[in-house]
Chain A
Amino acid sequence: MWYGHWVSRRRLLGRATSLIASGILWLLLFLVLPGVVLVVVAFMSRDADGQIVWSATTENFRRLLGFGILGWSADNGWIFLRSLWVAGVTTLVAVGLAYPTAFFIAASSPRLRYVWLSLVVVPMCTNLVVRTYAWELLLSPQLPPSMFAAWLGLIEPGRALYPNPGAVYVGLASTALPFAVLPLYTNVERLDWAIVEAAEDLYASRTRVFFQAILPQTLPGLSVAVILTFVPACGMFVITDRLGGSNFWLVGNLIQQQFGPSRDIPYGSAVCIVLIVLTLLGLYLYRRRGKAIELV
Chain B
Amino acid sequence: MSERRKIHPVVTMLALPSLLLLYLPLVAVAVYSVNSARIGLVWEGFTLRWYRELLHNEAMLDAARNTMILGLVSTAIATVLGTLLALGLARFPWPKPIARTLDVIVDLPVVTPDIIFAAAMVIAFSMLRSLWAGFVPGMLAMVIGHVTFQISFVALVVRSRLVLIGPTLMEAGRDLYASSFYLFRKVTLPLLLPAIVAGAMLAFTLSLDDFVISFFTAGPKSNTLPILIYSAQRRGLSPQIHAISTLIVILTVALVLGLERFTRYRKA
Q: Report which A residues bind B (CB closer than 8 A).
A: 1-6, 9, 12-13, 15-20, 22-24, 26-35, 37-38, 41, 52, 97-98, 100-101, 103-105, 107, 109, 114, 118-123, 125-138, 140, 142-143, 170, 173-174, 177-178, 181, 189-194, 196, 231-232, 234-238, 242, 252, 255-256, 259-260, 265, 268-269, 272, 275-276, 279, 283, 295-296
CA distance A126 to B250 in the complex (A): 9
B window 177-218: CB within 8 A of A:
180, 205-206, 208-212, 216
Main SS at interface, chain B = helix
Q: Are B12 and A104 in contact (CB under 8 A)?
A: yes
CA distance A14 to B187 in the complex (A): 22
Of the candidates B19, B89, B118, B156, the one whose C-beta lies within 8 Å of that of A20 is B89
24 intermolecular pairs with C-beta atoms under 8 Å apart: A12-B93, A13-B92, A19-B84, A19-B87, A23-B84, A24-B85, A28-B105, A29-B124, A30-B148, A33-B124, A35-B120, A100-B12, A104-B12, A107-B7, A118-B260, A125-B208, A126-B249, A130-B226, A173-B21, A178-B22, A189-B1, A259-B122, A269-B123, A296-B157
Q: Are B174 and A238 in contact (CB under 8 A)?
A: no
0 or 1 for each of B240-252: is its CB under 8 Å from A? (1 = yes): 0110010011001
Residue B59 is within 8 A (CB to CB) of chain A in the complex: no
Residue B2 is within 8 A (CB to CB) of chain A in the complex: yes
Instruction: Write the chain B residue with the least CB distance to A35.
Output: B120
Q: Are A296 and B156 in contact (CB under 8 A)?
A: yes
Contacts of A133 in B (CB 8 A): 29, 229, 233, 237, 241, 245
Q: Report which B residues bind A (CB closer than 8 A).
A: 1-7, 11-12, 14-15, 17-19, 21-26, 28-29, 32, 40-42, 81-82, 84-85, 87-89, 91-94, 102, 105-106, 108-124, 126-127, 144-145, 147-148, 151-153, 155-157, 160, 167, 171, 174-175, 180, 205-206, 208-212, 216, 225-227, 229-230, 233, 237, 241-242, 245, 248-249, 252-253, 255-257, 260
**Contacts beyond the supplied A125-B256, A269-B123: 6 A-B pairs with Cβ under 8 Å:** A28-B105, A97-B21, A118-B256, A125-B205, A127-B209, A143-B41
Of the candidates A16, A101, A120, the one whose C-beta lies within 8 Å of that of B88 is A16
Of the candidates B4, B29, B226, B256, the one whose C-beta lies within 8 Å of that of A127 is B226
Of the candidates A31, A34, A101, the one whose C-beta lies within 8 Å of that of B15 is A101
Taking each of A104, A107, A133, A275, which has the highest tally of chain B beta carbons within 10 Å of its own beta carbon? A133
Contacts of A170 in B (CB 8 A): 21
Q: Are A122 and B253 in contact (CB under 8 A)?
A: yes
Task: State the Cβ distance, A58 to closest chain B Cβ, in Å.
Answer: 19
Q: Are A129 and B94 in contact (CB under 8 A)?
A: no
* Given A31-B109, A259-B119, A4:B174 Cβ within 8 A: yes
